[in-house]
Structure 1
């Protein structure tokens, strides 16, 4: 099992419940594939460095998790298919 971090930016013009549901959705993807989420740090709404899809703000979430090597690919596939996600990055933590 490896340690990973995922930083993703959610579209800011959603209800708070919809944003929380998105966070829980991605947490659930890790857990249903046998991983363990160790921390979720919601940074909240922040200004983007440059506009993405004509949006200047985004809701930032940093998730740390431990899982098998194939789970990040599944997580990235779900990030890519979700229209509420502006940007994402999944990285493996150093030893």
Structure 2
């Protein structure tokens, strides 16, 4: 089986449906003896350029190991789901299990000033 990295972008109006979409795609992969090595929900982010007159979208990253038949089924599911604005599949040399730079950036980012003020206020009272 081969290893793939898949990123798909979901329309912001369908953000509530993302967990169900992830579960559906996860079941497609695992039903045919595939494995998911990494699954990251990057959340809603600003798009670099407009896609279908939309400024923001919901991003999801998956690193999977599957056969060609499963990959074709996933690709078909992406193409015929109107909520998915774009998707990209890249063949990888091996499994990737470490956190992506996007997730490392979020963990390293300090809390917002409003969150710090809230914490200080609750500590003082």
Q: Please indicate, yes or no, whether the TM-score normalized by the shorter chain is above 0.5.
A: yes
Give the distance between the partners of 2:41 and 2:26, measured in 1 at CA: 13
> Which residue pairs with 2:4 in the alignment?
4
More helix by share: 2
Comparing both chains, which one has the higher relative contact order based on Cα–Cα distances under 8 Å and sequence gaps of 6 or more? Answer: 1
Contact 1:72-1:90 within 8 A present in 2 as well: no
Gaps of 5+ in 2: 95-125
Residues 1:44 and 2:43 are matched in the alignment: yes
Residues 1:86 and 2:55 are matched in the alignment: no
Give the TM-score normalised by the residue count of structure 2. Answer: 0.70
Contact 2:15-2:58 within 8 A present in 1 as well: no
Give the distance between the partners of 1:57 and 1:83, measured in 2 at CA: 16
Q: SS at 1:83's partner residue?
A: coil
Q: Deviations over 1:14-63 (max 9, x none)?
A: 353x1211111111111122211111011110111111111111100000
Matched length: 94
> Which residue pairs with 1:61 in the alignment?
60
What is the alpha-carbon root mean square deviation over aligned residues?
Answer: 1.3
Larger radius of gyration: 2
Runs in 1 of length 4+ with deviation above 2 angstroms? none
More strand by share: 1
